[in-house]
Chain A
């Protein structure tokens, strides 16, 4: 493996485009929040999907996981997977209402 290499990262214009997407998605979340209560079921799904989308965009482009060593992704996704398992296990164990 090559030592001390710096993989090509996105250009500032790409960063700006990502920021615009993040801002628009946040605005959409805010708008959906005020939708009628009868849509609550759909709202929860949409909030979750949009949140995962924002999370992935920041991690892949701003944290460069898409371009850097795969080992970094493994370290991060490993911790993230464990955290998700802990959350799900506790929710089931305590029969949480949410």
Chain B
């Protein structure tokens, strides 16, 4: 017993007294701030610079995104409960909470997939232009027979305009981070079955703590994206 404590103590003997792995994850998260900061800056610099539509107000759906934001916030609650359970040595509860976290993360990704697909297939109603311009309409027959309005494709893809390029790059990279997080959480769930979770409980659940920090970081990045891109972006959208 004494030998085990001594070897554990030696494992954590660092010049700062802080575990290297925890230092590393915080340094990594600090660098990730820079990464997402650059993407957000790029989005803002090109905001309102697109020469053609659609813009944020045309495609972004605040109702759907509010729900997905709520889902991601609740996944953070599940994650912190998973960490709380494992730090007390309760592996069974840990498994429940970590699966809930992964499921909510996957649900958020589902919302993002739905949103991206909807953007691509977005249609909008336009007023019929003067007769001379009608051959350019899509479909060409849309404004015949006295119609005053027509519906046409007005989808957003990364290649549509500057808004599309910067929006999909920013939210796509965030989605990629969530995907990595879900895989990490599921791997921890699998790891919890190894030797009855003994390895996971060791070090006060440090392995879970590292994953939790990453997961919460992904959550706070989304808090910023939701505010900047969705709430403020649509509120001040150029007409």
Contacts and interface: CB of A to CB of B under 8 A. Distances in A.
B18 A47 contact: no
A86 B69 contact: no
Contacts, number: 159
B183 interface: no
B32 A79 contact: yes
Contacts of B23: 71-72, 75
Given A23-B74, A55-B220, A75-B30, A48 B66 contact: no
Contact of A26 (B16, B63, B73): B73
B218 to A, nearest CB: 10
Nearest to A48: B227
B45 A86 contact: no
A61 to B, nearest CB: 8
Interface residues of A, number: 53
A87 B40 CA distance: 7
Contacts of A58: 76, 216, 219-220, 223
Given A12-B84, A19-B73, A44-B235, A90 B34 contact: no
Given A15-B81, A51-B227, A79-B33, A86 B216 contact: no
B231 to A, nearest CB: 5
A4 B29 contact: no
Interface in A1-51: 1-6, 9, 11-12, 15-16, 18-19, 22-23, 26-27, 29-30, 33, 40, 43-44, 47-48, 50-51
Interface residues of B, number: 63
24 contacts: A3-B17, A9-B87, A15-B80, A16-B77, A18-B77, A48-B227, A51-B226, A58-B219, A62-B80, A63-B217, A71-B16, A71-B23, A75-B27, A79-B29, A79-B34, A82-B37, A83-B34, A87-B40, A90-B45, A91-B41, A96-B45, A96-B48, A98-B44, A98-B236
Shortest beta-carbon contacts, A-B, top 10? A83-B37, A79-B30, A1-B17, A79-B33, A51-B227, A4-B12, A19-B77, A97-B48, A87-B41, A90-B41
Interface of B: 8-9, 12-14, 16-19, 22-23, 26-27, 29-34, 36-38, 40-42, 44-45, 47-49, 62-63, 66, 69-70, 73-74, 76-77, 79-81, 84, 87, 203-204, 212-213, 216-217, 219-220, 223-224, 226-227, 231-236, 238
